[in-house]
Amino acid sequence: MNRKKLMFIVMIVICLHSLAVLTGSSQVLAREFKDVKSTHPASEAIEWASTEEIIGGFEDRTFRPNTLLTEAQFAAMLTRYYPEIKKEAATFKELDGKIWSNSTYEALSRFHVPLLGYENRAYRNQPMMRGLLAQVISYVNGQSSKLEESIHYLLDENISTGQSMQSTNLLEMYGARNHVTRAQAVLFFHRLDQQGKTELAKKVYTNQGSALIGSVQAVQMKKRAAQKADPRMQPKDVAGYITGQKLPVKPTYIKNILITNKQLPLPKQFAPGENKEARTQFKRMAAEAKKAGFHLTAFSTYRSFDYQTNLYNKYAKRDGKNMADRYSARPAYSEHQTGLAFDIGETGQQKHWASDSFGNTKAAKWLANHAHSYGFILRYPSGKEHITGYMHESWHFRFVGKAISESIYKRGITLEEYVDM
């Protein structure tokens, strides 16, 4: 093939490609999400949001449009959408980078944005309700933050439509207590962008407060902002579990670490048994502890879904569901189902097994100071219930591997903080 013919073919290919782009015949989304077809009602909005980096997809190239959005995730979208809030959040992230949502909530509190999760972090992991979303959007656009008035604003401005038009009750018609999916949230922000509502209202921006993290002023700002959130928008389950959450098909890995907690359940059929590497490292640790005079035993490791179901039900019947949720995982949410959790005590000292009293023993102190050398972490440390979702358990250790366990130990953080949850 001579050079002239080759150049002619190249020019034809370029022209055809240009024509396809101009006519939009390619119909490929910006991030090529496998589960978002061009016919999806929110496909254009999702493409816009991903391109603008307001929200992203998952590692498997899915967007999961029907997955419920948590309050913290909505707060993150809000922060990325408004430059003024984004700038403020960046400042706080430099000061406190332990939990990714902290800087977001710190920034939003300075603008007095109505949300529930400022003080009670359990609310951050609850699904966002449409009513609270209406309050936020109305407020940042310089309108009322009262629930009914906020809904009227969204309807009047065509930012939203109702969900039960036959109802004569405003809250029911709008679906105020209904949860927001990822796709629905994107549609809200896309409509704001289309209407040119891309900046905070002047009175919101000018009323911005200034206070150091942890100061009395900062605490008061958070309280005032939380008080703006209508109490009818509080989720019914504040134990940390996501209301209405369905069990996944596959377990969740973050930074290549298998994670399960009150927000990330395991599949019902997930049954790996006790992890062999965890058992090997426990034996090494027990041998070393023996030299120090402690005879360690792992009195509870792997538990099946059915076993955890019976155990949790027993505790809930005995102590009530609210109390049980503080120390026992609901079925599919237990670390023991991963085969990586080891409840550790001393042989012949059953009175201290799974008891607060174990924390006062010399064996527990030895464990707390040496477990990380064998790949184990104290999973539920004291003073971290608002992060882990569970009260302090001096006997509950989780195997994560030596490199990770040493990092967590040296930094004095939880597994949630390590994976930036």
pLDDT digits (tens, 9 = 90+) for 279-324: 999 999 999 999 999 999 999 999 999 999 999 999 999 999 888 9
Of 16 and 178, the one with more pLDDT: 178
Last residue of one domain, picked from the residues 199, 233, 267: 233
The predicted pLDDT at position 2 comes to: 53
| 242 — pLDDT class (breaks 50, 70, 90) | confident
pLDDT for 37 beyond 70: yes
Of 321 and 362, the one with more pLDDT: 362
Q: SS3 breakdown of the chain: % helix, strand, coil, rounded to 5? A: 50, 10, 40
The predicted pLDDT at position 90 comes to: 85
The predicted pLDDT at position 285 comes to: 98
Give yes or no: residues 370 and 282 share one domain.
yes
pLDDT for 126 beyond 60: yes
pLDDT for 156 beyond 50: yes
Structural domain contains residue 5? no
Is 393 annotated as catalytic?
yes
Give yes or no: residues 186 and 308 share one domain.
no
Calculate mean pLDDT across residues 56-60.
87
For 165, other C-beta atoms within 10 Å of its C-beta total 8
Give yes or no: residues 197 and 298 share one domain.
no
Structural domain contains residue 17? no
| Residue 23 phi, psi dihedral angles, 5° rounding | -85, -10
pLDDT for 277 beyond 70: yes
The predicted pLDDT at position 354 comes to: 94
Give yes or no: residues 223 and 303 share one domain.
no
Structural domain contains residue 19? no
The predicted pLDDT at position 27 comes to: 38
Give yes or no: residues 266 and 371 share one domain.
yes
Of 103 and 74, the one with more pLDDT: 74
- CATH number of the structural domain spanning residue 379: 3.30.1380.10
The predicted pLDDT at position 235 comes to: 74
* Element of type H or E holding 72: helix 71-81
Give yes or no: residues 168 and 94 share one domain.
yes
Calculate mean pLDDT across residues 157-165.
90
CA distance 97 to 192: 30
CA distance 187 to 193: 10
For the chain, the C-alpha Rg in angstroms (whole number) is 26
Report the percent of the chain where pLDDT is more than 90: 67
CA nearest to 226, candidates 164, 341, 169, 145: 145
Structural domain contains residue 155? yes
CA distance 317 to 31: 48
The predicted pLDDT at position 161 comes to: 87
pLDDT for 177 beyond 80: yes
Residue in 71, 106, 393, 417 annotated catalytic: 393
pLDDT for 124 beyond 50: yes
Count structural domains, the chain. Answer: 2
Structural domain contains residue 222? yes
Structural domain contains residue 296? yes
Whole-number average pLDDT of the chain: 88
Structural domain contains residue 315? yes
The predicted pLDDT at position 387 comes to: 83
CA nearest to 251, candidates 279, 276, 272, 275: 272
What are the tens digits of pLDDT across the range 326-358? 999 999 999 999 999 999 999 999 999 999 999
Structural domain contains residue 12? no
Lowest mean pLDDT among 97-111, 156-170, 235-249, 312-326: 235-249
Give yes or no: residues 393 and 329 share one domain.
yes
Give yes or no: residues 154 and 209 share one domain.
yes
Give yes or no: residues 217 and 275 share one domain.
no
What tokens does 371 get? 């477990």
Give yes or no: residues 284 and 197 share one domain.
no
Last residue of one domain, picked from the residues 166, 200, 233: 233
Torsion sign across C-alpha atoms 134, 74, 237, 222 = negative
CA nearest to 218, candidates 210, 208, 226, 207: 210
Print the domain residue range for 369.
Answer: 255-418
Give yes or no: residues 307 and 367 share one domain.
yes
The predicted pLDDT at position 167 comes to: 84
Calculate mean pLDDT across residues 170-186.
93
Give yes or no: residues 207 and 317 share one domain.
no
Calculate mean pLDDT across residues 141-168.
93
Calculate mean pLDDT across residues 57-64.
89
For 280, other C-beta atoms within 10 Å of its C-beta total 13
